[in-house]
Amino acid sequence: MPAPINPTRLYEEIVNESSDAVLFADRQGIIRLWNSSAASMFGYTAAEAIGQSLDLIIPENLRGRHWEGYYRVMETGETKYKTGLLSSPGQRKDGSRISLEFSMSIVRDETGGIAGCSAILRDITARWQKEKELKERLKALEGRTD
């Protein structure tokens, strides 16, 4: 019979071994948790990402809208994204863009106050590109030009 696992160790193992990127940002949008899959996906090591703003992975043209929503959620504790997956472009260290699908959750501290936000992200760039190509082929087959 395997030895019992400490719950904290169990949580760490789940996050660290996830094939999806897992991150946590505090109320100010500063990255405080960055797993190895986030490092692989975005190209930043944990040492490079932790302590940095989420701007690190948000394309510049989307930052204004992102921060408006982020700070509103941090103030109110309300989000329209409680269920389902979100889709958004992300940006890698080399400046290239990727298509992301992710879930997010509000994280609360011991007193019930909002500590920040966690996200579990998946790179869907290849799938998005295939869907785009299929739509273009269908449009061509239908003889549309719009």
pLDDT at 131: 82
Task: Return the structure tokens found at 67.
Answer: 């921060």
- CATH number of the domain at 101, please: 3.30.450.20
What dihedral do alpha carbons 81, 79, 71, 27 form, nearest 10°? -90
> What digits encode the pLDDT tens for the residues 78-129?
887 666 788 999 999 999 999 999 999 999 999 999 999 999 999 999 887 8
Report the share of the chain in percent with pLDDT over 90: 73
Residue 117 lies in a domain: yes
2 in any annotated domain: no
Q: How far apart are CA 59 and CA 98, in angstroms?
A: 10
Evaluate whether residue 55 is within a structural domain: yes
Q: What is the pLDDT of residue 46?
A: 97
pLDDT at 145: 58
For 56-62, what is the mean pLDDT?
97
Q: Where does the pLDDT of residue 144 fall: very low under 50, low under 70, confident under 90, or very high at 90 and above?
A: low
Q: Which domain holds residue 90?
A: 7-143
In a domain, 29, yes or no: yes
Residue 138 falls inside a structural domain: yes
Rounded to the nearest angstrom, the gap between the alpha carbon of residue 66 and the centroid of all alpha carbons in its chain is 12
pLDDT tops 90 at residue 133: no
**pLDDT at 18 (0 to 100):** 93
Whether residue 27 is contained in a domain is answered as yes
Domain count, the chain: 1
Does residue 70 form part of some domain?
A: yes
Q: What is the mean pLDDT of the chain?
A: 92
Q: Report if residue 1 sits inside a domain.
A: no
